[in-house]
Amino acid sequence: MSALRLQSYANGSKQWDEFLKAVPEELMALASICRYKAGSTICLGEAPVKYVHLVLTGTVSAQNVTVTGKVSNWLHMPSPTFIGDLEVLAERRCYATNVATPDGCVLARWPVGQFVEAMMDYPKLLLLFSRVLAKKNYGLSVSRGHAAFRPNLEKTVIYLLQYCETAPHEPGSPYVVQKTRTEISSEAFFSLKTLERCLYRLRDAGMLSIAKGKVYISEEQLVLLEKFRDDPDSI
């Protein structure tokens, strides 16, 4: 797989630009391509970590499965991102959790040893690998840390602001929340009904718009959300 092939998956976003600059052509030439259908499990928690994956298309989800078979998706990761970054940097031999794809995805993968050697030779790749993991952990720290004990309306606002901070955006156009309500509720750790109530309350306050099920946030509405985050008594 050549660097030009990697370029063909990029969508012009800032995130993809970082990957194109940091992932060397020599490493891409060694990658194996894997395609997974919707609903497929990519790796199982407690299974040995054999590969590092780069998600080229689609979304992958970290999930927990109860003894009764109930699945809880608690972290949704759109491309481009890595699978195995936590385990490799923590020097753990087994995956921490299940990773699946809700809608199907295409991955590039390398044996762990091969990828680790590449990181030693290419500092930009090591920095990217570390940064991707740090961003995931930052989001979890926000949702499970200071936001966890706030009222649900405030948690919704914090989640939306965090989403807008990293989402691709054209100046002058609104942010579009591409995640489903189910994905948002599982990541924000409250029920779907609670999320719906919060979104419609924020819409009625003029802080966001909803059209055909999608949440839109203009730059003016983003300012209102930031004001509410700093002063929850404003509505």
Give dist(CA 28, CA 47) in Å, integer: 25
Q: Which domains does the chain have, with CATH numbers?
A: 3-137 (2.60.120.10), 152-234 (1.10.10.10)
Looking at residue 3, its pLDDT comes to 47
Looking at residue 15, its pLDDT comes to 81
Cα 133–chain centre separation = 10
Peptide bond into 80 cis (omega under 30): yes
Looking at residue 1, its pLDDT comes to 46
Residue 41: which pLDDT band, with cuts at 50, 70 and 90?
very high
Residue 27 has pLDDT above 60, yes or no: yes
- Residues of the chain with pLDDT > 90, as a percent, come to 52
- Residues of the chain with pLDDT > 70, as a percent, come to 92
3-state secondary structure of 14: helix
Give dist(CA 31, CA 55) in Å, integer: 12
3-state secondary structure of 190: coil
Cα separation values, 11 from 20, 32, 104, 170, 233, Å: 11, 21, 18, 13, 40
Q: What is the mean pLDDT of residues 45-50?
A: 92
Looking at residue 175, its pLDDT comes to 92
Looking at residue 143, its pLDDT comes to 61
Short-list 100, 54, 103, CA closest to 80: 54
Residue 235: which pLDDT band, with cuts at 50, 70 and 90?
low
Give the residue carrying structure tokens 């802080």. Answer: 207
Q: Which residues of 36-52 are buried (b: 16+ CB within 10 A; e: fewer)?
A: beeeeebbeeeeebebb
* Per-residue model confidence as pLDDT tens digits over 177-206: 988 888 888 777 788 999 999 999 999 999
Q: What is the mean pLDDT of residues 114-136?
A: 93
Looking at residue 4, its pLDDT comes to 45
Q: Which residues does residue 32 pair with via DSSP β-bridges, in sequence order?
A: 109
The DSSP 8-state label assigned to residue 94 in this structure reads B
